[in-house]
């Protein structure tokens, strides 16, 4: 009986934890090319977080801003979201191609990879959403 209760509690905890994690921004996995294609298929822009692992503002955005439900609601509806480490793998070429000079840099791209806007540096959730909405309103 104890085992059954313990398993039920663990299942409930896992479900609660997973649902809580899904409330923020859903950063998609895949190659840059795949993510551009997905943005085109979904008729969305591609939002790219170009970050560095040692970057304090990058960590703040990942841990405190992108995890918030209101941020996830806006970004998941508007964008296909991606993250690339500017110092590893495909992120090196993305940072070079888009001439990223500071971290974090957030790119808003169309499905062809054309840069439509960028924001450099982090902010609190409300101010960041507002900055992104201003960029999007100029391109629509």
Beta strands 115-120 and 45-51 are: unpaired
Is residue 95 flagged as an active site residue?
no
Is residue 46 flagged as an active site residue?
no
Q: Would you report the helix, strand and coil content of the chain in percent, each value rounded to 5?
A: 55, 20, 30
Under 8 Å between Cβ of 118 and 108 = yes
Catalytic option among 58, 80, 82, 95: 58
Under 8 Å between Cβ of 83 and 95 = no
Q: How far is CA 3 from the centre of its chain?
A: 39
Backbone angles phi, psi at 51, to 5 degrees: -130, 175
Catalytic option among 39, 52, 55, 80: 55
Catalytic positions: 55, 58
């Amino acid at each position: 009986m104890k085992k059954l209760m313990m398993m039920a509690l663990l299942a409930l905890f896992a479900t609660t934890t997973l649902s809580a994690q899904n409330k923020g921004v859903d950063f998609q996995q895949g190659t840059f090319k795949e993510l551009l294609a997905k943005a085109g298929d979904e008729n969305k822009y591609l939002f790219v977080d170009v970050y560095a692992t040692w970057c304090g503002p990058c960590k703040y955005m990942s841990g405190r801003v992108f995890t918030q439900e209101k941020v996830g609601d806006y970004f998941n509806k508007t964008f296909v979201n991606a993250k690339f480490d500017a110092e590893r793998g495909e992120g090196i070429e993305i940072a070079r191609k888009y001439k990223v000079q500071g971290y974090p840099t957030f790119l808003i791209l169309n499905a062809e990879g054309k840069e439509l806007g960028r924001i450099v540096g982090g902010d609190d959730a409300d101010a960041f959403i507002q900055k992104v909405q201003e960029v999007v309103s100029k391109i629509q």
